[in-house]
Structure 1
């Protein structure tokens, strides 16, 4: 036995066992959904009207309005945050032509480390649409995910502090099957997102295609909620123009407030699964989906 042990030790010494290194999980750079904003571009002359209508519809308050250069090349825009219990929007009313590629990004996500977040996004399949640049209060980058999904990552020099949301809005992504799996893999890998539902036989009526079957994927991460609609892409207007879906406790009351504030209902309320949904257009052209909170067997979700 001693001889066997000696021989085994000698063999191991001559041929050490190499244990494969286990890659550490990528860091999560999200801060919280109250810091995620939909980017809303409106004509300068309708800036104040849009802001007033959005607050009248969802409640909340605004940051101080100002005029800034928020792009790396020369430009000037009115800019203001609208912070509501149902979600935040960054409003831009450019007084100059809008430099490329701005205006195509759908959302802005606050991150804890802009350089590391951009590096992580690129490692998960995103590409930069421009190099990271400074803005008046921090640094930004615009990136694109598979399927052409554009978003902005941003970082503030002084860490902001916003009230948590009462309901978390949905980032609504419309894709064909060509890009859907690549996007979902890339986004969940980067965001540490969890696919909470993947219905491969959802009713196409939810996106204006009644009689067709679509795939509906729900994802939750530190950046908030996302729903990916996978279809043939043959969407009737205004579907696909709605970037964000807002959850409210009383859809009828919300739509009544919206109407009184000059908001147009483009798609009247209709049942979709466990909730009702409508699509509206605010002054200035911003199109959004609004839905009631989902109800399950235990009550309101």
Structure 2
């Protein structure tokens, strides 16, 4: 009886139990409007932008200075758009007001107030209530496990080209909060679990032995990968928040190193992908991968 109980508990721990239907509208606009937030020191902004744009063959908007928080502050701000995903770059001239800098992504929504309400109904907490910025309105919500994301809305609707490759939001969580996060976020995002590997090799995340659980999600906001670990991670694993897909990994790594980025995890095979890790000027760490040959 004890063996049966133990087997049942293990099965429940690894089985995908995330069929929780959304009861609110889908407020997503498209992954080309979703950005990773990158905070770098002002003196590193130009070097970061040049290297990131060169690596992923993109371009940046003109840099501006603005207040993008509900309390007084000043930062440079610009958008770097690439075929593999976009980043919003902030170089604060003043101290960064809490909790800004802790949010990983910004997601454009069709209706900010309704999206906030839907996120709360799904299980998120609003940590920065809606406020005006120079081009629209923003809020920050926190999902189970302490996963902070910005929701935003533009006064003038933007129009961007579809991405060649949709990036993945890489979310490291302990087992105790992973199920709650997946259930809450997929409910809000009208998302789905596309794969759930309870025994992915730990070598994929810098380990030497053992396994971890990897859950891949897709929604109108793009892709997300939940990496369920015990927290025994070697740097730089866990410091990257986004994984970027490219057509040719070797060519992208060559562009990266030639433009000032450092290769911190060499290219290697990970099941269905060939992957590496980069650190850009200013400290931003990113996973980069291409489909396995």
For normalisation by structure 2, the TM-score amounts to: 0.92
Residues 294 and 196 of structure 1: CA distance in aligned 2, closer, same or farther (over 3 Å): farther
Equivalent residue number for residue 95 of structure 1: 93
> Is 1:30–1:111's contact at 8 Å kept on the other side of the alignment?
yes
Q: 2:204 aligns with which of 203, 206, 214?
A: 206
Which has the higher mean CA deviation after the structures are superposed, 237-246 or 209-218? 209-218
Q: 1:166 aligns with which of 155, 164, 167?
A: 164
- Deviations 1:205-238 (Å, cap 9, x if unpaired)? 1111231111110000000000000111111111
State the 1:24 CA deviation.
8.3
Where do residues 8-87 of structure 1 align in structure 2 (5 Å cutoff)?
A: 25-87=23-85
- Structure 1: gaps of 5 or more residues: 1-22, 296-301
Q: Distance in 2 between matches of 1:165 and 1:196?
A: 20
Equivalent residue number for residue 281 of structure 1: 279
- Deviations 1:237-290 (Å, cap 9, x if unpaired)? 110000000001111110000000010011101110021110110001100000
- Structure 2: gaps of 5 or more residues: 1-20
Moved over 2 A (4+): none
Residues 24 and 106 of structure 1: CA distance in aligned 2, closer, same or farther (over 3 Å): closer
Q: Distance in 2 between matches of 1:179 and 1:134?
A: 32
State the 1:293 CA deviation.
2.1
> Is 1:203–1:210's contact at 8 Å kept on the other side of the alignment?
no
CA RMSD of aligned residues (A): 1.1
Larger Rg: 1
Number of matched residues?
273
Q: 1:242 aligns with which of 240, 243, 246?
A: 240
Q: 1:264 aligns with which of 262, 268, 271?
A: 262
Q: Distance in 2 between matches of 1:288 and 1:275?
A: 15
Q: Distance in 1 between matches of 2:106 and 2:23?
A: 24
Equivalent residue number for residue 146 of structure 1: 144
Q: Distance in 2 between matches of 1:213 and 1:55?
A: 35
Q: Distance in 1 between matches of 2:275 and 2:253?
A: 11
- Deviations 1:90-115 (Å, cap 9, x if unpaired)? 00000111111100000000000000
> Is 1:266–1:281's contact at 8 Å kept on the other side of the alignment?
yes
Equivalent residue number for residue 17 of structure 2: none
Equivalent residue number for residue 110 of structure 1: 108
Q: Distance in 2 between matches of 1:93 and 1:118?
A: 27
Structure 2 SS opposite 1:129: strand
Residues 157 and 294 of structure 1: CA distance in aligned 2, closer, same or farther (over 3 Å): farther
Q: Distance in 2 between matches of 1:130 and 1:153?
A: 10
State the 1:177 CA deviation.
0.4
Q: Distance in 2 between matches of 1:150 and 1:262?
A: 29
Q: Distance in 2 between matches of 1:108 and 1:180?
A: 21
State the 1:184 CA deviation.
0.3
Is the aligned partner of 1:183 residue 2:166?
Answer: no
